[in-house]
Structure formats: C-alpha cells, structure tokens
C-alpha cells in the first residue's frame, strides 16, 4: 500500500512538471515577440542636393538613397557634410538615416527607469575648426557663395542660426565639417567652466605662397619703387632704356643712402633678367 502511494505521488509530480514545461514552451512559440527591431525611414521625399568634393571638380546629384547606396567603406558621416542644399529643399542631417536624420519606425522601446542624475556643472561649447579650416556657404541656386567657418555661424543673427544653414556649407577639401566642429551645428567640444579649454593642436605650416612670390621673376610695380627716389624712374622706365644702359643700371644701388645695399636687379628682376643679369632671377 505504501509503495502504490509513493508511485502515485511520483507520477502526479512528473505529469505536472511535464505539462508546465509544454505549456511554457509551446505557447511561448505561438506568442508574438514584443522585441521587434525598430528601423529608420528616410524623409527626403524626392528632394536632393549636390555632393561636392575634390575642390569642386566632383559634383554629383545626391539624395538619401544615393548615400545608402554607397559602399560600406565610403559611408562615413563626413559625406553628409559635402552635400549642399542650395534650393532649401534637402537637408541630409534631418532627412537621411545615414546622417542621423530620418524617421524611426517600429514599436517604441520599453521605458527605462530614469537614471540618477549627478549635479550638472555649467559648461561652454568650444568650436574645433582649428588651423583656419573653412568651407563654402552656397545658397540661392549657387548665386550666393560665402567662405564660412564656425565663427561665421556664430556671427549670424539669431533668427538665421538654423541647422539648415549647416547643410549649405560644403567642405570640398576634406578639412571642414561643421556638424563635427561647430557648436552652432551641434558639434564642437563641451568643456566644464571650471576647466581651461584644451590647447589648439599644432597646425601644419602655412603655404609658402609669399616666399614663392618673392622668388618670382617679376618687376616691382611702378607705384612702389623709383630709382633712387627719382620721379618716374621706375622699372618700366628702365625697360625702355637702351640695353647697354639697362645692364649698367641693373648693377647699381637701387635706393638712396649708404646703408641700403639693395641693387636694381633685385627690384626690377624681369627687366634685368632680360638683359642677361645673372643675379636678377637665379635658377
């Protein structure tokens, strides 16, 4: 009698456990999942802009689908900064999912408990367009073209400080990205007011255009120099003299005063070079 009772209890426990497992497993498969992944929908609705790169040599009509169709390795957010909206219809940072815009679709995520917020410290946003980088603001179908950097955005009247203006600045030399660098466009770096802003990075040396100009074989303009201060005796005057006279004057001192040793060939380079003065434009 005792053996039968134990067997009956064992069967009852086993059957109950099996039914519970079957119920959870079977009905779990049938119930719809509530964790459906959300997705993003572009909202450009036929609007488009112009992708500009390579100093303006590359110009391609572009919309959100064009961005989505780029190969994976060509889809950085900096591409969004190279699309200009000059007809006030296409704003990739608002319309294109790839640029952080678009419209989220799918179920809203479950609300999460609000985290404990630490006391906030006042901070200030600092632009990071270091080393003089800038872009070109293009509007009115290309009729308005203005050099623009972060300071240019900051200087706009308050009613013109809109993110749509950020989409009208093109970076065609791969140096200026307003959405990353400019506080007015949501970029920059926020530093607590109790800390000093970070120092600017070392910038590459300036182009040596000025030095190239100095080495260029050209005459000094007539309104900037006259031979020993004498009226009308300019480089143009020298070039009209007989060749032998030019050769002689090119070797003379250019200015008054014993301390100034500058020779005429250093002032009228092209003229003296033309009469075979070897010092005028050395190779």
Q: Which of 99, 49, 47, 50 is nearest to 78 (CA)?
A: 99
218, 194: one domain:
no
Give the pair of three-digit tokens for residue 194. 């109790």
Q: d(Cα 41, Cα 47) in Å, to the nearest integer? A: 14
Residue 169 lies in a domain: yes
236, 184: one domain:
no
Chain-centroid distance of CA 46 in Å reads 26
Residue 49 lies in a domain: yes
Q: Which of 223, 281, 273, 230 is nearest to 254 (CA)?
A: 230
269, 215: one domain:
yes
- Phi and psi (nearest 5°) for 157? -60, 155
Share of the chain above pLDDT 90, in %: 24
Residue 64 lies in a domain: yes
165, 57: one domain:
yes
Residue range 242-279, pLDDT digits in tens: 999 999 999 999 998 778 889 999 999 999 988 888 88
Q: d(Cα 46, Cα 64) in Å, to the nearest integer? A: 9
Residue 266 lies in a domain: yes
190, 52: one domain:
yes
Q: d(Cα 235, Cα 221) in Å, to the nearest integer? A: 8
Domain end position, chosen among 198, 227, 242: 198
91, 132: one domain:
yes
Distances from the Cα of 92 to the Cαs of 53, 54, 65, 156, in angstroms?
16, 20, 11, 21
185, 216: one domain:
no
Q: Which of 170, 179, 190 is nearest to 101 (CA)?
A: 179
**pLDDT-derived band at 11, boundaries 50, 70, 90:** very low
Task: State how many domains the chain has.
Answer: 2
User: What mean pLDDT do residues 118-123 have?
Assistant: 77
67, 155: one domain:
yes
Q: Which of 56, 135, 43, 159 is nearest to 90 (CA)?
A: 43
192, 214: one domain:
no
91, 189: one domain:
yes
Residue range 146-161, pLDDT digits in tens: 889 999 989 888 777 7
pLDDT of residue 125: 92
Q: Which of 69, 53, 67, 80 is nearest to 179 (CA)?
A: 80
Residue 3 lies in a domain: no
Residue 117 lies in a domain: no
137, 248: one domain:
no
**pLDDT-derived band at 77, boundaries 50, 70, 90:** low
138, 60: one domain:
yes
- Phi and psi (nearest 5°) for 81? -75, -10
For residue 222, the enclosing domain spans 210-274
Domain end position, chosen among 198, 221, 254: 198
Q: Which of 267, 239, 273, 274 is nearest to 253 (CA)?
A: 267
Give the pair of three-digit tokens for residue 61. 């009509």
| pTM for this entry | 0.44
- The residue written with tokens 């995520």 in the block is 109
Q: Which of 60, 96, 57, 99 is nearest to 77 (CA)?
A: 99
Residue 48 lies in a domain: yes
Residue 76 lies in a domain: yes
2 CB-near residues (< 8 Å, 6+ apart)? none
- The residue written with tokens 């900037």 in the block is 224
User: Taking the chain, what is the end-to-end CA distance rounded to the nearest angstrom?
Assistant: 121
Residue range 23-74, pLDDT digits in tens: 444 444 444 444 445 689 999 998 888 888 776 677 889 899 998 888 877 6
Domain end position, chosen among 150, 166, 198: 198
């Amino acid at each position: 009698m005792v053996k039968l009772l134990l067997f009956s209890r064992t069967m009852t426990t086993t059957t109950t456990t099996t039914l519970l497992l079957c119920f959870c497993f079977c009905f779990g498969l049938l119930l719809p999942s509530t964790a459906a992944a959300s997705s993003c929908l572009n909202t450009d609705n036929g609007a488009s802009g112009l992708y500009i790169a390579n100093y303006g040599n590359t110009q391609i009509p572009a919309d959100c689908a064009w961005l989505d169709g780029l190969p994976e390795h060509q889809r950085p957010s900096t591409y969004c900064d190279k699309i200009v909206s000059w007809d006030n219809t296409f704003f990739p940072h608002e319309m294109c999912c790839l640029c952080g815009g678009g419209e989220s679709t799918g179920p809203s995520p479950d609300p999460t408990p609000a985290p404990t917020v630490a006391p906030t410290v006042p901070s200030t946003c600092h632009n990071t367009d270091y080393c003089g980088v800038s872009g070109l603001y293009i509007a009115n179908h290309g009729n308005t073209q203005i050099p623009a950097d972060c300071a240019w955005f900051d200087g706009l009247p308050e009613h013109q400080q809109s993110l749509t203006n950020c989409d009208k600045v093109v970076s065609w030399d791969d140096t200026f990205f307003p959405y990353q660098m400019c506080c007015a466009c949501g970029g920059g770096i926020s530093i607590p007011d109790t800390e000093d802003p970070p120092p600017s990075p070392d910038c590459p040396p300036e182009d040596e255009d000025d030095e190239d100009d100095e080495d260029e074989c050209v005459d000094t303009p007539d309104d900037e120099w006259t031979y020993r201060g004498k009226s009308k005796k300019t480089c143009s005057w020298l070039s009209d003299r007989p060749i032998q006279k030019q050769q002689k004057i090119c070797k003379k001192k250019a200015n008054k005063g014993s301390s100034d040793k500058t020779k005429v060939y250093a002032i009228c380079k092209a003229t003296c070079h033309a009469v075979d003065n070897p010092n005028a434009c050395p190779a």
